[in-house]
Amino acid sequence: MRIVLLGAPGSGKGTQSQRLVARHGIPQVSTGDLLRAAVTEGTPLGLKAKEAMAAGRLVEDEIVLGMIRERLGEPDTAQGFILDGFPRNLVQARALDGLLRQIDQPLGAVVQLNVDYAELSRRIAGRRTCSDCGRVVNLLASTAEAAQGELCPRTGRPHHLFQRPDDNEVTVAERLRVYEAQTRPLVDYYRQQGLLRSIDAEGDIEGVSERLEAALAPPSAR
């Protein structure tokens, strides 16, 4: 199971990725996490990334791809992986295809999570993140009360929740505009490769998970 989840900000990619991790035992490969870890550890790629960020530049795709290559070489990816945060545009998608061919780990499926933009705005405005462990809680979700009562696995204390600067209604419109311009074209790109699945990602989390599992099932099992 080697997959990419596509969807606009707030579509539930992170939540569904974590449920796939728990259900199938495959890792979620987050480019953001890879960058932070590489910078913290001072790896050669991390030093290059740190230099770019310190200069106010975007981290080059070649650096990110190098980190993905290293991560996919680890034993826990043998049964598959979920790519999170990459690719974000056609240039990155084509570069990723080349990398996966080189290491003989081609994608098996790309799933588009469809959510109405009015619902996306509502979701994002209600989203809060734990500053200690990164756990995301949506105050509008039915699970919010239970999640807020959990203890942070990193500190052993209640989650310290905050609203990210880009998780407010003022910035949502711009984030969706960027998504439409840069990431939405990937839908057609992967459709042409026969990899695209598309699901309704509105409604309760369990229902979305069921639709996602059905989309990832082999054709004979659908």
Give 104-122 pLDDT, tens digit per residue: 999 999 999 999 988 887 7
Residue 24 located in a structural domain:
yes
Q: Enter the DSSP assignment of 181.
A: I
CA distance 65 to 46: 12
What phi and psi, each to the nearest 5 degrees, are found at residue 7? 165, 155
Residue 12 located in a structural domain:
yes
Task: State which residues form the domain around 100.
Answer: 2-115+183-221
Marked catalytic residue, from 23, 94, 164, 177: 164
CATH code of 66's domain: 3.40.50.300
Residue 206 located in a structural domain:
yes
Marked catalytic residue, from 2, 71, 123, 127: 127
Residue 110 located in a structural domain:
yes
Marked catalytic residue, from 19, 48, 50, 88: 88
CA distance 27 to 4: 12
Q: pLDDT above 70 covers what percent of the chain?
A: 92
Helix axis angle, 31-41 relative to 44-54, nearest 10°? 100
Give the pLDDT score at 173.
Answer: 78
Residue 130 located in a structural domain:
no
156 SS3 class? coil
Task: Output the pTM of the full model.
Answer: 0.78
Total domains in the chain come to 1
Does 127 qualify as catalytic in the annotation? Answer: yes
Marked catalytic residue, from 50, 175, 184, 191: 175
Residue 198 located in a structural domain:
yes
Give the pLDDT score at 221.
Answer: 62
Marked catalytic residue, from 2, 13, 71, 135: 13
Residue 212 located in a structural domain:
yes
Give 29-74 pLDDT, tens digit per residue: 988 888 888 888 898 988 988 888 777 777 888 989 999 999 999 9
Give the pLDDT score at 220.
Answer: 64
Does 135 qualify as catalytic in the annotation? Answer: no
Does 88 qualify as catalytic in the annotation? Answer: yes
Residue 162 located in a structural domain:
no
